[in-house]
Structure formats: structure tokens, C-alpha cells
């Protein structure tokens, strides 16, 4: 796929196209030169930009609510939706052996590539441009955010549910796997497993599985 098309989708033209190429290169395609380091930068930039935005937009709100708002905006599901809006999956470089990946693994790769794009923009330009890039891509999401919405990630929701039922809090078991982490919880003698690009994302994903099971 043409990098020109992707740059049009993200409304940003790279001065150094090698950074964009690196941002869409998954480690299954190139184990030595891939987007993992850019993902590390992009994750930090994303959290910092959203933190600053929320801090300024809601000057009277406490840290706890701001944290939940930020978690809602930067969670894996949101990033995957944003990645799909710019058709990022069409451009990611993967090895042929990844053709039959599960949806969870595909989502993890998309999350990582989206964050890598942010990191690449920072290195290609400066902080102000990276900030503008993030806020532009997330325009709809941040405009919809408001204090009247209840923001609880799946881990918090599961813990509150179990506490209300006087059940001990869940014990998460996490381990590193290819391209991310896997987390598991045993609930009602049934083992639930989920993967994510980070330990946090994996734990939230497995908590959501249990919540879906409870509500079904």
C-alpha cells in the first residue's frame, strides 16, 4: 500500500518517510527494525496529550475522574476504532505467518501501530505538532467526553461488582507473549484468558470477558 494514501488518511505529511515506514513495520516482519520503540514513545505522548487536554477542559474535576476519563480515551478499544478509521490495517507490514491471527491479536497489533504513528510524528516534527496530530485524530472522541458519563474501565467495574457480592477481588496472572501480554483469571472454576499490547490492556480485556460472562 502507498504511504501517500496513509499520510492523506492521517492528514500529516512526513518529512522523513523512513519513520512512517518503521511505524507500520511489525516485528513479525522485521525482528531487528520494527515499531516497538516508536510504540513506547507514542504511548507516552498519547497519555500526556490527553492528560493535558482533560486538565484544561475540566479545571474543577478531581484527579480520580480525570484518570478514568483518560483511561476511557486511551483504552485499546478506542485505539482500534481510530486505527480502523484511517484504514491502518491495510498498511501494516506483517509476516505471512500472521495471516490467521485471532481478533484479539489483530487488535493488539493495531493498537501498537497506532501508538507508533504518534511516536513517529513526534520524531518527525516536534511536541506541538504531535499534540495537534493526536487531538485531530481523536477530535470526535474528546468532544464527546463529559463529566456526566460514568467512566469505569472493566477492571474497576469487575472489582466493584465482586465487592458488592462480598467475593474476594480477582487475582490476575500475567505473562509476556509474542507482541504483548496475556492475562488470566479463574472465576467460578472457569479460566478466562485474554491478550493485549500491554499488561494493563490484557488485564482489562480478561476482566471484560468475565463481565460479559456475568451479564450473559
Kindly state the helix (H) or strand (E) to which residue 210 belongs, with its residue range. helix 199-215
∠ CA 174-72-65, nearest 5°, is: 105
Active-site pick, 115, 153, 179, 203: 115
CA-to-CA separations, 120 to 10, 37, 116, in angstroms, rounded: 12, 10, 6
Instruction: Please indicate whether residue 43 is annotated as part of the active site.
Output: yes
Q: Is the dihedral of CA 92, 205, 39, 50 positive or negative?
A: positive
Residues annotated as part of the active site: 43, 115
Amino acid at each position: 500500500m502507498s504511504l501517500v494514501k496513509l499520510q492523506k488518511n492521517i492528514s500529516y505529511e512526513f518529512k522523513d518517510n523512513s519513520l512512517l515506514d518503521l511505524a507500520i513495520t511489525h516485528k513479525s516482519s522485521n525482528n531487528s527494525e520494527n515499531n516497538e520503540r516508536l510504540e513506547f514513545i507514542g504511548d507516552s505522548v498519547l497519555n500526556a496529550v490527553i492528560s493535558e487536554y482533560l486538565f484544561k477542559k475540566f479545571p474543577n474535576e478531581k484527579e480520580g475522574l480525570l484518570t478514568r476519563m483518560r483511561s476511557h480515551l486511551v483504552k485499546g478499544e478506542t485505539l482500534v476504532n481510530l486505527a480502523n478509521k484511517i484504514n491502518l490495517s491495510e498498511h501494516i507490514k506483517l509476516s505471512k505467518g500472521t495471516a490467521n491471527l485471532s481478533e484479539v491479536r489483530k487488535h493488539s497489533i493495531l493498537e501498537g501501530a497506532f501508538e507508533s504513528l504518534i511516536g513517529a510524528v513526534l520524531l518527525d516534527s516536534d511536541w506541538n505538532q504531535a499534540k495537534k496530530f493526536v487531538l485531530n485524530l481523536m477530535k470526535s472522541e474528546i468532544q464527546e467526553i463529559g463529566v456526566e458519563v460514568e467512566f469505569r474501565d472493566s477492571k474497576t467495574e469487575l472489582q466493584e461488582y465482586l465487592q458488592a457480592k462480598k467475593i474476594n477481588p480477582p487475582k490476575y496472572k500475567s505473562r509476556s507473549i509474542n507482541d504483548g501480554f496475556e492475562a488470566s483469571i479463574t472465576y467460578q472454576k472457569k479460566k478466562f484468558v485474554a491478550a493485549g499490547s500491554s499488561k494493563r490492556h490484557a488485564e482489562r480485556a480478561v476482566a471484560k470477558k468475565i463481565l460479559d460472562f456475568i451479564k450473559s
